């Protein structure tokens, strides 16, 4: 496996790293095709925002150069960047001189069944709820036990993803995807001010949709909104768009707006 | 620094470890004196409960033997055990054959000013609130960004600890301590069913107090309970008990029941 730490080939990390001790860091999972990272500007933008909110003094220009160089070596696949606050002594207080650490791992392209994108996926109904923490909401940080617990709830291959609600019962997202509804020609997705991960593909779709003549609404979604939706789909920055064809007793056709948005983002991932 | 991974001297960890990727694990911080770990049974009991709740198949007998051997080598100080779910491939789903990993780090005894225990400490009023997540509440897991953010709120040495409320405004705990109030001769501490870390020293105090003739109540605490308390103190398994002498405009004397409980647990830590 191709992997670098702070720009040098390495696959072993200091056990003093705060990413291990406290999940004190962020990550980005980036599709790479023909040596080029997809949606790189959006990934960097989210990382920059996350570092600002957590107070991690990362050199984003250096990160950008490293991601490009790593992608060139990887060729085709998925690269994952973990940015931690670096080492520390015992205790939660970050050292004032902490050096953030960049960990890059490369892997092969994901082997999702082509039917996921073509015919759609079924959603598992996760019992694990997302806690409401505005200070961390939207960030792709390393505190991901809720996702680990949610993903542990099902093992069957009938469900490609799981639906997560927040502790107040709002419909938020998938375990590793964002969720969109289409109702009356309008694209709806959850407001992520209290919990959830603000995916880069979600951001891309929210920008693309109006240009395609599809109005967008970002707000609180209830289970009734899901029940009444005309189309439902998932997205992330690796697989693009997957239509959702079923959830519990509900089912949806793969609709025309889902297909339109799917085609649009396929081009961005260069997997058309 | 003395450190072992899976029982062997090592200070470098696989970057595939899920402790790094997702904070997928637990930890224990244990005082060691004359080569003996303090409150070892309680630490192991909490770890066992945490592993059960997270579905980490740890060999607790092996952990017990390793902790004893490590403590013997350390002599005097603090040892930290991190137990992760081990390595994984990309994705939140734990591998069915994942091998949990034990990471042990030893350090010197903490250098807290003796005045903390003698005259008491002032609490900083943290703005960072604890999110309510019953599935993770009480666990000493590796998702600790809330504590990192809270501890980053103050740098002055006037405040030895910070007070954390939950997102509903209940009084919960310190950043690295549990909190106790004494009101009308009764010992009060927060119910940790929604958030917070169930400290081993908290468990010890809840067992010792009734034997000393001090009734206990575990329940929801409001700021008004803190304002009306006769005595306030903090505890953890490394320093024992610190009286709280001030918080914002409030102040408390170091009371007789705090001193009685402090003496009781000092003997357990062998730092009397």
The DSSP annotation for A188-200 comes to EEE--SSSSB--H
Spatial distance between the Cα atoms of B265 and B240, rounded to a whole number of angstroms: 6
Q: Which chain A residue is nearest to residue B131, measuring alpha carbons?
A: A133
Count CB atoms within 10 A of the CB of residue A233: 29
pLDDT score of B179: 98
Mutate to test the interface with A, among B1, B13, B15, B137 (most CBs of A within 10 A): B15
Mean pLDDT, to the nearest integer, of A119-133? 98
A126 Rama class: left (phi>0) / alpha (psi -120 to 50) / beta? beta
Whether B94 and A148 lie within 8 Å, measured CB to CB: yes
pLDDT-based confidence at A268, cuts 50/70/90?
A: confident
Whether A22 and B145 lie within 8 Å, measured CB to CB: yes
Q: Tens-digit pLDDT profile for chain B (272 aa)?
A: 899 999 999 999 999 999 999 999 999 999 999 999 999 999 999 999 999 999 999 999 999 999 999 999 999 999 999 999 999 887 999 888 889 999 999 999 998 999 999 999 999 999 999 999 999 999 999 999 999 999 999 999 999 999 999 999 999 999 999 999 999 999 999 999 999 999 999 999 999 999 999 999 999 999 999 999 999 999 999 999 999 999 999 999 999 999 999 999 998 887 54
Q: Does domain B114-269 have CATH number 3.40.50.1820?
A: no
Question: DSSP secondary structure string, B165-197?
Answer: EBTT--EEEESSSEEEEEETTEEEEE--SSSSB
pLDDT reading at A255 higher than 80: yes
Whether B12 and A13 lie within 8 Å, measured CB to CB: yes
Spatial distance between the Cα atoms of A42 and A237, rounded to a whole number of angstroms: 10
Mutate to test the interface with B, among A17, A84, A133, A174 (most CBs of B within 10 A): A133
Would residue A29 show up in a list of annotated catalytic residues for this protein? yes
CA B207 to chain centre: 17
Would residue A132 show up in a list of annotated catalytic residues for this protein? no
pLDDT score of B272: 43
Spatial distance between the Cα atoms of A203 and B189, rounded to a whole number of angstroms: 44
User: Would you please indicate which residues of B are annotated as catalytic (active-site) residues?
Assistant: 29, 140, 173
For chain B, residues classed under CATH 3.30.470.10 are: 3-107
Tens digit of each residue's pLDDT (9 = 90 or more) over B185-213: 999 999 999 999 999 999 999 999 999 99
CA A164 to chain centre: 14
Mutate to test the interface with A, among B80, B92, B152 (most CBs of A within 10 A): B92
pLDDT score of B271: 55
For chain B, residues classed under CATH 3.20.10.10 are: 114-269
pLDDT score of A271: 55
DSSP H helices, chain A, are: 18-22, 40-54, 60-74, 114-118, 145-151, 200-211, 223-228, 256-269
Q: ipTM of this model?
A: 0.97
pLDDT score of B97: 83
Question: DSSP secondary structure string, A118-167?
Answer: HT-EEEEE--PPBP--TTTTB--BS--HHHHHHHTT---TTEEEEEEEBT
pLDDT score of B259: 97
**B175 contacts B126 by C-beta, under 8 angstroms:** yes
DSSP character for A168? T
Q: Which chain A residue is nearest to residue B128, measuring alpha carbons?
A: A135
**Which CATH architecture describes the domain A3-107?**
2-Layer Sandwich (3.30)
Min CA distance, B270 vs chain A (Å)?
21
| Tokens of residue B245, six digits | 């002498």
Bridge partners, residue B104, by sequence: B4, B81
Tens digit of each residue's pLDDT (9 = 90 or more) over A45-79: 999 999 999 999 999 999 999 999 999 999 999 99
Q: Which chain A residue is nearest to residue B25, measuring alpha carbons?
A: A145
pLDDT reading at A20 higher than 60: yes
**Chain B residues with CB inside 8 Å of A2's CB?**
none
pLDDT score of A1: 86
Spatial distance between the Cα atoms of B38 and B47, rounded to a whole number of angstroms: 15
Q: Which chain B residue is nearest to residue A134, measuring alpha carbons?
A: B131
């Amino acid at each position: 496996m191709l992997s670098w730490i702070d720009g040098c080939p390495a696959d072993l990390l200091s056990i003093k790293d705060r990413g291990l001790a406290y999940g004190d860091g962020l990550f980005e999972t980036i599709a790479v095709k023909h040596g080029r990272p997809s949606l790189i500007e959006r990934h960097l933008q989210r990382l920059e925002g996350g570092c600002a909110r957590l107070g991690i003094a990362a050199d984003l220009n250096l990160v950008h150069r490293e991601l490009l160089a790593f992608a060139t070596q990887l060729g085709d696949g998925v690269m994952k960047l973990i940015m931690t606050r670096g080492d520390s002594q015992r205790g939660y207080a970050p050292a004032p001189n902490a050096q953030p650490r960049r960990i890059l791992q490369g892997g092969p392209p994901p082997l999702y069944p082509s039917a996921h994108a073509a015919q759609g996926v079924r959603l598992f109904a996760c019992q694990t709820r997302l806690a409401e923490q505005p200070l961390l909401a939207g960030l792709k940080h390393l505190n991901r036990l809720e996702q680990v617990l949610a993903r542990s709830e099902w093992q069957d291959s009938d469900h490609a993803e799981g639906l997560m609600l927040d502790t107040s019962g709002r419909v938020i997202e998938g375990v590793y995807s964002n969720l969109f509804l289409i109702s009356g020609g309008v694209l709806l997705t959850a407001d992520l001010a209290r919990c959830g991960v603000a995916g880069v593909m979600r951001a891309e779709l929210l920008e693309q949709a109006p240009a395609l003549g599809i109005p967008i609404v970002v707000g609180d979604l209830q289970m009734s909104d899901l029940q009444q939706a005309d189309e439902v789909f998932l997205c992330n920055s690796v697989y693009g768009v997957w239509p959702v064809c079923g959830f519990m007793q509900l089912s949806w056709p793969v609709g025309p707006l889902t297909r339109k948005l799917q085609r649009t983002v396929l081009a961005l991932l260069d997997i058309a």
